[in-house]
């Protein structure tokens, strides 16, 4: 059995949580660039993960505060599905990954960091994208700064028609 380790995520896990839901507050903050929001649709939005598993790790969330995909309206579900496919298409164009991890983490046991507000993870993957650094030095090496990734992806998301 192969194991994937992500010890750099401990910073996120151990940080003091404010209690606010980022998926509720950040889209309303009026600071999309600062908050790494790439796209706002009528029912959901796309945001970069600031504690990414890999460069280009994106999340799609409905605006409504929902804890399970079964509570999504048909319209929300359709928009999230369409945006998920668009994210994969854009990441393929902009970052040339060799694969993807895509999915929801629901509930604390399912790995959800924000268990009360569902969101889809789109994680681009490359063969060899894990190395010895997390194991030996408790460090994850990202080959590109978060801001640089945002600036590369944003023009692609600005082309999405609503």
The residues annotated with a catalytic role in the active site are 119
| Kind and range of the H or E run holding 80 | helix 74-95
Per DSSP, the three-state class of 37 is: strand
How far is the C-alpha of 47 from the C-alpha of 156, rounded, in Å?
A: 14
33 secondary structure, DSSP code: T
CA atoms within 13 A on the CB side of 45: 22
Place of tokens 């409504």: 64
Q: Give the pairing of strands 58-62 and 44-48.
A: antiparallel
């Amino acid at each position: 059995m192969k194991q994937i380790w992500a010890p750099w995520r401990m910073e996120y896990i151990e940080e003091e949580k404010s209690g606010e839901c980022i998926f509720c507050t950040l889209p309303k903050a009026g600071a999309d660039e600062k908050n790494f929001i790439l796209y706002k649709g009528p029912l959901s939005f796309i945001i970069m993960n600031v504690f990414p598993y890999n460069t280009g790790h994106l999340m799609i969330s409905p605006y409504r505060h929902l804890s399970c995909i079964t509570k999504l309206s048909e319209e929300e579900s359709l928009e999230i599905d369409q945006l998920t496919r668009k994210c994969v298409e854009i990441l393929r164009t902009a970052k040339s990954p060799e694969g993807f991890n895509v999915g929801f983490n629901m509930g604390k046991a399912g790995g959800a960091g924000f268990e009360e507000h569902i969101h889809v993870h789109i994680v681009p993957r490359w063969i060899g994208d894990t190395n010895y650094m997390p194991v030996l030095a408790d460090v994850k090496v990202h080959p590109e700064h978060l801001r640089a990734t945002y600036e590369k992806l944003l023009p692609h998301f600005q082309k999405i028609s609503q």
